[in-house]
Chains A and B, each alone.
Chain A
Amino acid sequence: MSFKHTVVMPKMSMTMETGELIGFHVSEGQEVKAGDVLFEVMTDKIDMEVEAPADGKIEKLLAAPGAVLEIGKPVLIMETQTQVLSFDFDEPATEVSEATINASVAEVPQQVVTPEPVAVTPANINKSPKSVPAARNLAADKGINLQTINPTGPSNTITYEDVLNANVDPAIAKRQQANKELIAKGIAATLNIPQTSFTRSINKLAGSHAEWHAQLLAKWAKTLRSFGQTEIGIALIIESKYGSALPVFKNPDQLDLASLIQLVEITTEQAKIGKVPLAMLNGATSTIFDLTSYSMTSTKPVLFPNQTTGLTVGIDSNGVLSLSLTIDLRALDFYDGAILLDRLAGAI
């Protein structure tokens, strides 16, 4: 299965509203690699090359060179095999109908990409190198292709240490780096926003990982809604082999819990292998970073662009949860932040 990914006019500075499309470096039908330059943009401050976020094929060029486009306007559509991480640099939509929300949530499971089944033939069985189970698992975690490893074990078998010492697949390393840069760029953009943080301790909810995340998403959304927010998108940070993935759960408090748990399960599984459904790539108004599986706490959540809150959940050695909240002081005042966190703690 493939995706259609729309590459838009990016927001490259805090003051940028429009950009001029200088010209394309690709043509329709052309195959591109992640990192290849797609087009150049000129703004009031800088000129910049916009790169392909993933391997794929250019399907359609949507704008003409010389055109001045608002940020977020489509420039080209490309077809990719893998899903692309992004988050909003543009303003979130002000009005989204109930139908749209439901449709986007309902579509999600269908948009999840499953790998193409590969026919098992004697030829490609032999192609798979021999390796011990722990080596295979480690390679999968690190995003290393076993074919690239020189086996040192008996009978040409790849050992655990072979994988430990191996380098990450350059294609994956590149994506990891791009991912880091994208996130760093986002955080850098919010650094100068006046903000403050709060922390509070509570007892943990019982249940599986997915149940816990579903409850957290629903309760946080409900808390934000009680504060007058209507269109809520919560990004949940998930560690993938390509780096952090941030699937956005739209209005999670409006789904029944069983469906939400299922959605969290499927999304987490897919995100871990670097696939986030298109409908969940943007629209975040808040971000949750859950540290409880690492048994640590962090008291300073970050703010992503165009989000007014960021939430971090940690756990100490006594099993006590700590909720930390950072707020954008332009949108919420100190008192609002304290009440928000208090309401969330109460809900949990």
Chain B
Amino acid sequence: MLTMAEAVREAMTIAMEERPEVFLMGEDVGVYGGAFGVSAGMYEKFGADRVIDTPISELGYIGAAVGAALSGMRPIAEIQFSDFSAQAMDQIANQAAKIHFMLGGALHVPMVIRAPQGSGTGAAAQHSQIVENWFTNVPGLKVVVPSNPADAKGLLLSAIDDPNPVVFLEHKLLYKTPGWEPVPEGNARIPLGVSRVVRTGKDLTIVATGIMVKKSLEVADKLSAEGIEVTVIDPRTISPLDMSTTFESVDLTGRLLVVQEGPSHGGFINEVIAQVAGSHVFGSLKAPIKKVAGLNIPIPYAPQLEKAAVPQVEDIYAAANEIVKTWR
């Protein structure tokens, strides 16, 4: 079974073999093989023209990627830690996201920004954030948050095909782990903007992305042993956000728990809650909607505090248990 890092590498390799205009650029992506080893071996395979080591200037090389995309290339730009995307924010939010709209659709910006996000590595506040929320509030960007290797491969292939800028955020703790199903061979795409029902149960709906899907599945297993059946939905792309399966599921279960690692204040889960509360399935709710999210603090350095700052399996379990058992 491939790990997330291997699946992402396979998708980039397939895309580069399929189209000459696809190339990879970023800090240490070439000779070193990437800070997390995602692009290991690609420099040897494709050469220095297509796997480009850039200077340490996110603003500079993301700007170069935008220019390349405008002139017909399809760059994949890796940012070593997604936290550093703040350096490149003008190019991402004001240029890449807007050019197509400000030029009346005359030009496209087909580029992918790949970056690892999330805590759990003891790398402290500037290297541990969940930053997906920075981008979901910028119309013109698509935001993909894969939860497992199989999805990562198909979604990344679609992201590279997409004529719009796509921000593709991988959780660093998932790089070294295999998923719960083998990564399909071949070049099959998974469309952006289509959520996935990962597990089906009648008592509770959990909506989560990224590493929180894995944690939610552990909770579902645990609750299943206690006779409580949980549906787990992974939207996979949070911009655009596909709510259709969530509506269907909540209509059936009457209970909704949303989970994200990022700080509670803001984030896609709040959009999920707002949409369900304002939808036709409101009348099916048997319990208040509950969320489990990160604390509204910078990620601490001390390992115990780092762990306490973001949702763990026990937190999700406690919330799920409370919803189902208190609200019969």
Contact = CB atoms under 8 A, between A and B. Distances in A.
A160 B326 contact: no
B213 to A, nearest CB: 26
Interface string A132-144: 1111110000000
Contact of B327 (A136, A137, A159): A159
A160 B254 contact: yes
Contacts of A135: 286
Interface string A281-323: 0000000000000000000000000000000000000000000
Contacts of B326: 153-154
Contacts of A154: 326-327
B328 A134 contact: no
A132 B282 contact: no
A133 B287 CA distance: 8
Nearest to A162: B328
B245 to A, nearest CB: 19
B283 A159 contact: no
Nearest to A153: B327
A133 B283 contact: yes
Interface in A9-66: none
B199 to A, nearest CB: 22
B283 A137 contact: yes
Contacts of A133: 282-285
Contacts of B285: 132-134
Contact of A161 (B282, B283, B284, B328): B328
B286 to A, nearest CB: 4
Interface in B310-328: 326-328
A165 to B, nearest CB: 9
Contacts of A159: 286, 327-328
Interface string A149-183: 00011100001111000000000000000000000
Nearest to B284: A134
A66 to B, nearest CB: 56
Nearest to A152: B328
Interface size class of B (residues with CB under 8 A): 10 to 19
Interface residues of A, number: 13
Contacts of B254: 132, 134, 160
A154 B283 CA distance: 19
A132 B327 CA distance: 9
B282 to A, nearest CB: 6
B61 to A, nearest CB: 51
A137 to B, nearest CB: 5
Contacts of A152: 328
A138 to B, nearest CB: 9
Contacts of B287: 132
A66 B154 CA distance: 88
A161 B254 CA distance: 12
Contacts of B328: 152-153, 159-162
Nearest to B288: A132
Interface in B268-312: 282-288
A159 B255 CA distance: 12
A134 B284 CA distance: 4
Most chain-B CB neighbours within 10 Å: which of A135, A159, A160? Answer: A160
B286 A160 contact: yes
A82 B159 CA distance: 61
Contacts of B283: 133-134, 136-137
A161 B283 CA distance: 15
Contacts of B282: 133
Contacts of B288: 132
Contacts of A153: 326-328
B276 to A, nearest CB: 11
A164 to B, nearest CB: 9
Interface string A107-151: 000000000000000000000000011111100000000000000
Contacts of B327: 132, 153-154, 159-160
Interface of B: 254, 282-288, 326-328
Interface of A: 132-137, 152-154, 159-162
Given A135-B286, A159-B327, 17 more contacts: A132-B287, A132-B327, A133-B283, A133-B284, A134-B254, A134-B283, A134-B284, A134-B285, A152-B328, A154-B326, A154-B327, A159-B286, A160-B254, A160-B286, A160-B327, A160-B328, A161-B328
16 contacts: A132-B285, A132-B286, A132-B287, A133-B282, A133-B283, A133-B285, A134-B254, A134-B286, A136-B283, A137-B283, A153-B326, A153-B327, A153-B328, A159-B327, A161-B328, A162-B328
For the complex of A and B, 10 pairs with smallest distance between CB atoms: A161-B328, A160-B286, A134-B286, A133-B285, A133-B283, A137-B283, A134-B254, A159-B328, A134-B284, A132-B286
